Structure formats: structure tokens, C-alpha cells
């Protein structure tokens, strides 16, 4: 019985047995230890995962573990985890295993791969691994100019294991429960499982956006900042996590270094970016001669100059008092810096990116073409009057329903707000407080709305100020006095068309 419904196994581990030897002592092999650690990490991320069932054949050469048995297990597995290497690339059984999995429907999001060691010079992967992202579990030893497999216990090894566990747990959770919606009042969860509501550090519009799988993720661009050594693992985890979700991610540690070159490349990366995130720790990082204030300050300067939305993050236990440079300590303690756990911060970033992706998706939807006239009961007659005017010129319109339960009223209002092409908010007999409440609701619903035109229409009685104390870049204010004149609305619609 597996954690994932409909499957016998949750994860099939595909590897070359020759790679499963201990790099340090006579204990368990490297892959065996890796699988044991991933098993614990995935279970933790699935809230226990008592039914988690990983198929890991530790006796691959034994006569009772023939190829047909392995291929049956592949077909009965929810996900496939390949430990790639030259040996993996050259073994018939491993090639048959991955080929069998790729015959399954919707295999793309269910296949995960790491690289035990890089291929030999001139060698290419024979399978789909050639074009798949493979998380490197090796690093180059500059002293000896040779690639070495990461050793268990190192910070980089654990960070890479965490990435893999998060990715697999995310997929298994989605396959078990479908889209993971946030639970009201639920405690903070790991981003690999269930999303929760972000903290108050986010804007109200972003905080109110429900979490769903992001459409048009590739149209959203995330820039992850360059950090000092104490935060590199977290920055790399952020990069890998969101790249695996399908977002376009730029990591500033991978651009040219040095003052002028770094600033030029960072400016290019941030131009038009959806979000810039910068993890910071107590170490201030490098301060070359041409960047006397350091890379942290340089990146924040570029973000400000390019008007890129920015989130600076530190862990709750990081304090400016422990920073060796007072200026860096002041940055750590700045009120704009988000103090959160890593999972909590990832949740916040993911909420923002998903909201941006939904906004792009809504902008690309064909418009419904109708005008929604949102009016309180006090201005119902005016709304129906404007409806009559628009009907005579062949324009579809809608007004709120007034005779229904509060739940039905709200459901209908949300549906109209999301679906209309033009939104008119009537400010007549009703008070300003009602108008401001509606505007606040529109701000929160912005990612879901497809309306090209939004306008507050001020009508009788005369004497009301056009200053509503609420501004939005795409909101128009129209004066329809003295008697709910419709010509300003028609002019606005025609100009926008």
C-alpha cells in the first residue's frame, strides 16, 4: 500500500549498482544512505507519510530480481528517481527502466534525476536525461582539478537532499490530494506540502490571493540575489525550488562579478522582473574596491533603480547585533526585512509569483464584453437606468442581485467582478465607506479579474468630492452629474477599444 492512491510504490529508485559503494568507510553504500535519508525527509514533509513505499532494489544482480520484476515495479510507481552517472548511462537495465517509465502517461512531472558524477568528456546521455535537469551531487575540487561526489554530512549534500525531498514530496502530495489549497488557520507548513497564508509583510492584494498551481509560470520572472557564504545554500535552494515549479529564475551569483560588470548584468536581469528576493545573514559578504558598500547594497541599489519589487529575508534568529559591520547590521534589523523560517518565506514568495501568473493568465483571456454596474441598493434605480441606456445601443450589462441570501449575493458579486470586461462602481446615494470597501475588495481580487476598464462613477446628489482617498493605476473617476449621464462612460469604452 503506497501513500499515492492507485500505485504500489511512491518512488522507484533507478541506479547503477556499481555506484553504490561507501566513499568513506565500510558502511552502507552511497546510494543506500542517500535513499534512507530521502525516505526520512519525504516522510517528514508529508506529515509522517506512514504509507510511503519506496522501491529500492538493493540486490539488483540476484537471479530473483530480474528485469521483468523491475519493469513491473516501474509501471506501478508514482514517481521515478534516477541516480545518473556514466555507469547508469551505459547499463542496459537502467536504460530499460527509464524508457519504461517514459511510456507512462503524464510522466514529465513525475521524473526526478540527480547526477552522482558528470559524464565522461564527449559522452552524452542516451535517454531523456540528456534534456532533463539533473541536480548535481558532485563538485569540482579546484586543488586537484577533479570532480568529487558530495559526501554525506556536508552542508551542500544536505541542502541538495532537501531539494530532492521537497520536489518529490510536492509531487506525491499533489497526486494524493490534488491542488493544495491553504487551510484557514493552519500552522506554517513546508512549501513542498501545503501552502499557507503569507505573513503581514506582504501587500494586502498578495495576501488575499488563494494558492493554486501557477498558470503561465514561464511568463513570471524571479531574480534570486547573490549572498554571502552563510546564505548560499538557502539561495541555491530558492533558485532550484522555483525553477522546478516552472518559473524563469535568474541567480545573480551566476552573473559576471566586479563592480561595473555585476551592476550591468544585475540591471539587465532585474529589468521587467516580477520579483527580486535577497536572503541575508550576519556575514556582510565581499566588498571589492569598486563596490565599497558590498554586493548586498549594490543589488538593492539596482532593484531600487529598476523599480523591481523586492523581498529581503532573514531567519528569525539572525540579528543585526551579531553582524561584524554596523551598516550591515542596520540592514538586517530594518523593518522592511522579512523575518521568517525558510518554509514560511518560500510560501510568501510562491503566493506572490502565483498571483502574478494568474494576473498574466487573466490578461490573456478573451473578454466577455459585458459591463458590470456595481451599485448598492440605494443606487439600484440608477444602475437599472444605465442598464436601459446601454441595452438600447446593443451593449450587454449586468447589475448585482439584490434579493438573495448574503452568501448568494457575495458569490454572484465575485463571479461578476472576475468575468466582466468593464466595471462601473456607482457612487450616488450610498456613502463613501461602501465605495472604499468595494475598492479594497477589487484590490484583493486584481489577479483574478479580466476587466480592461474600471471606473468609479460619481452621480447625484451633487457636491461629493472626487478624492476617494483610494488610488489605483488602472482606476478611472467619472463625473456623471447632474443626472447619471452615460456619455462619459461610452467615451471611455470607445477610447479603450
Q: Where are the domains of the chain?
A: 9-168, 186-363, 371-496
Task: Tell me the pLDDT band of 442, cut-offs 50, 70 and 90.
Answer: confident
- Is a pLDDT exceeding 60 seen at residue 315? yes
Task: Tell me the pLDDT band of 107, cut-offs 50, 70 and 90.
Answer: confident
Q: Taking phi first (over 0 means left), then psi (-120 to 50 degrees means alpha), and beta for anything else, what does residue 7 get?
A: beta
Contacts of 384 (CB under 8 A, 6+ apart): 399
- Is a pLDDT exceeding 70 seen at residue 394? yes
With beta carbons less than 8 A apart as the criterion, state whether 478 and 488 touch. yes
pLDDT at residue 210, as a whole number: 33
Q: Which option is the CATH number for 9-168: 3.40.50.12780, 3.40.50.10140, 3.30.1490.100, 3.30.930.10?
A: 3.40.50.10140
pLDDT at residue 225, as a whole number: 95
Q: What is the DSSP string of 90-109?
A: H-HHHHHHHHHHTTSTT-GG
- Is a pLDDT exceeding 90 seen at residue 483? no
**127-132 long-range Cβ contacts below 8 angstroms, 24+ apart:** 127/89, 127/95, 127/98, 127/99, 127/102, 128/98, 128/102, 129/82, 129/84, 129/89, 129/98
Mean of pLDDT over the chain: 81
Task: Tell me the pLDDT band of 236, cut-offs 50, 70 and 90.
Answer: very high
Q: In sequence order, what are the beta bridge partners of 458?
A: 427, 479
The CA distance from 298 to 44, in Å, is 38
Contacts of 112 (CB under 8 A, 6+ apart): 79, 80, 81, 82, 164, 167, 168, 171
Give the ranges where 393-445 is alpha helix by DSSP (H).
Answer: 406-419, 432-445
Question: Which of 229-233, 273-277, 484-488 has the least mean pLDDT?
Answer: 484-488
pLDDT at residue 58, as a whole number: 74
pLDDT at residue 186, as a whole number: 35
C-alpha cell at 480: 456623471
Give the ranges where 306-341 is alpha helix by DSSP (H).
Answer: 326-332
Q: Which option is the CATH number for 371-496: 3.30.70, 3.30.1380, 3.40.30, 3.40.50?
A: 3.40.50
CA dist 17 → 58, 85, 182 (Å): 8, 11, 42
Q: State mean pLDDT over 15-21.
A: 91
Domain 9-168 and domain 186-363, same fold? Reply is yes
pLDDT at residue 60, as a whole number: 54
Q: In sequence order, what are the beta bridge partners of 9?
A: 77
pLDDT at residue 73, as a whole number: 93
The CA distance from 41 to 47, in Å, is 10
Question: Which of 4-18, 98-112, 364-378 has the least mean pLDDT?
Answer: 364-378
pLDDT at residue 278, as a whole number: 95
Q: State mean pLDDT over 474-480.
A: 88
- Is a pLDDT exceeding 70 seen at residue 207? no
Query: What homologous superfamily is domain 186-363 in, according to CATH?
Result: Toll/interleukin-1 receptor homology (TIR) domain (3.40.50.10140)
Range of 48-62, 161-175, 296-310, 477-491 with top mean pLDDT: 296-310
Question: Which of 61-70, 265-274, 340-349, 444-453 has the least mean pLDDT?
Answer: 61-70
pLDDT at residue 220, as a whole number: 85
Task: Tell me the pLDDT band of 339, cut-offs 50, 70 and 90.
Answer: confident
Length of the chain: 497
- Is a pLDDT exceeding 90 seen at residue 63? no
Q: State mean pLDDT over 349-372.
A: 68
The per-residue pLDDT for range 250-281, each reduced to its tens digit, is: 999 999 888 889 999 999 999 888 889 999 99
Q: State mean pLDDT over 53-68.
A: 70
**14 compared with 201, residue with greater pLDDT:** 14
pLDDT at residue 30, as a whole number: 93
C-alpha cell at 352: 506572490
**457 compared with 27, residue with greater pLDDT:** 457
Q: State mean pLDDT over 333-358.
A: 79
The per-residue pLDDT for range 118-159, each reduced to its tens digit, is: 998 889 998 889 888 889 999 988 777 888 899 887 878 888
Amino acid at each position: 500500500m503506497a501513500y499515492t492512491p492507485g500505485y504500489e510504490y511512491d518512488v522507484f529508485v533507478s541506479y547503477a549498482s556499481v555506484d553504490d559503494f561507501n566513499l568513506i568507510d565500510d558502511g552502507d553504500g552511497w546510494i543506500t544512505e542517500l535513499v534512507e535519508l530521502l525516505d526520512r525527509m519525504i516522510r517528514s514533509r508529508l506529515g509522517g507519510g506512514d504509507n510511503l513505499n519506496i522501491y529500492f532494489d538493493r540486490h539488483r544482480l540476484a537471479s530473483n530480481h530480474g528485469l521483468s520484476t523491475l519493469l513491473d515495479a516501474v509501471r506501478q510507481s508514482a514517481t521515478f528517481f534516477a541516480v545518473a552517472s556514466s555507469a547508469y548511462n551505459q547499463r542496459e537495465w537502467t536504460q530499460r527502466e527509464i524508457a519504461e517509465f517514459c511510456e507512462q502517461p503524464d510522466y514529465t512531472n513525475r521524473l526526478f534525476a540527480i547526477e552522482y558524477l558528470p559524464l565522461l568528456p564527449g559522452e552524452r546521455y542516451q535517454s531523456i536525461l540528456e534534456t532533463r535537469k539533473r541536480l548535481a551531487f558532485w563538485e569540482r575540487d579546484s586543488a586537484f582539478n577533479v570532480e568529487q561526489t558530495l559526501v554525506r554530512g556536508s552542508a551542500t549534500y544536505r541542502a541538495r537532499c532537501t531539494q530532492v525531498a521537497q520536489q518529490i514530496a510536492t509531487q506525491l502530495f499533489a497526486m494524493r490530494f490534488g491542488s493544495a489549497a491553504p487551510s484557514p488557520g493552519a500552522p506554517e507548513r513546508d512549501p513542498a506540502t501545503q501552502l499557507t497564508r503569507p505573513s503581514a509583510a506582504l501587500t494586502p492584494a498578495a495576501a488575499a490571493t488563494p494558492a493554486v498551481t501557477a498558470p503561465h509560470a514561464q511568463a513570471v520572472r524571479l531574480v534570486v540575489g547573490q549572498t554571502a557564504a552563510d546564505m548560499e545554500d538557502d539561495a541555491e535552494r530558492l533558485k532550484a525550488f522555483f525553477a522546478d515549479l516552472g518559473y524563469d529564475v535568474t541567480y545573480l551569483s551566476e552573473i559576471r562579478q566586479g563592480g561595473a560588470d555585476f551592476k550591468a548584468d544585475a540591471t539587465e536581469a532585474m529589468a521587467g522582473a516580477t520579483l527580486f528576493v535577497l536572503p541575508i545573514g550576519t556575514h556582510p559578504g565581499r566588498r571589492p574596491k569598486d563596490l565599497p558598500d558590498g554586493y548586498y547594497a549594490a543589488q538593492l541599489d539596482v532593484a531600487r533603480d529598476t523599480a523591481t519589487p523586492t523581498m529581503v529575508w532573514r531567519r528569525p534568529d539572525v540579528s543585526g547585533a551579531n553582524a561584524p559591520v554596523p551598516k550591515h547590521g542596520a540592514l538586517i534589523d530594518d523593518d522592511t526585512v522579512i523575518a521568517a523560517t525558510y518554509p514560511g518565506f518560500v510560501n510568501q514568495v510562491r503566493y506572490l509569483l502565483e498571483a502574478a501568473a494568474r494576473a498574466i493568465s487573466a490578461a490573456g483571456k478573451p473578454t466577455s464584453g459585458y459591463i458590470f454596474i456595481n451599485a448598492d441598493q440605494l443606487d439600484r434605480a440608477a444602475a437599472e437606468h444605465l442598464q436601459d441606456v446601454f441595452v438600447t445601443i446593443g451593449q450587454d450589462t449586468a447589475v448585482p442581485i439584490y434579493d438573495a441570501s448574503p452568501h448568494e449575493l457575495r458569490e454572484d458579486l465575485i463571479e461578476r467582478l472576475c468575468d466582466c470586461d468593464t466595471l462601473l462602481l456607482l457612487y450616488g446615494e450610498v456613502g463613501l465607506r461602501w465605495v472604499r470597501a468595494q475598492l479594497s475588495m477589487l484590490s484583493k481580487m486584481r489577479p483574478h479579474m479580466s476587466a480592461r476598464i474600471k471606473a468609479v462613477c460619481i452621480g447625484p446628489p451633487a457636491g461629493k468630492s472626487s478624492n476617494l482617498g483610494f488610488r489605483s493605476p488602472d482606476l478611472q473617476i467619472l463625473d456623471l452629474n447632474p443626472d447619471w449621464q452615460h456619455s462619459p462612460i461610452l467615451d471611455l469604452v470607445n477610447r479603450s477599444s
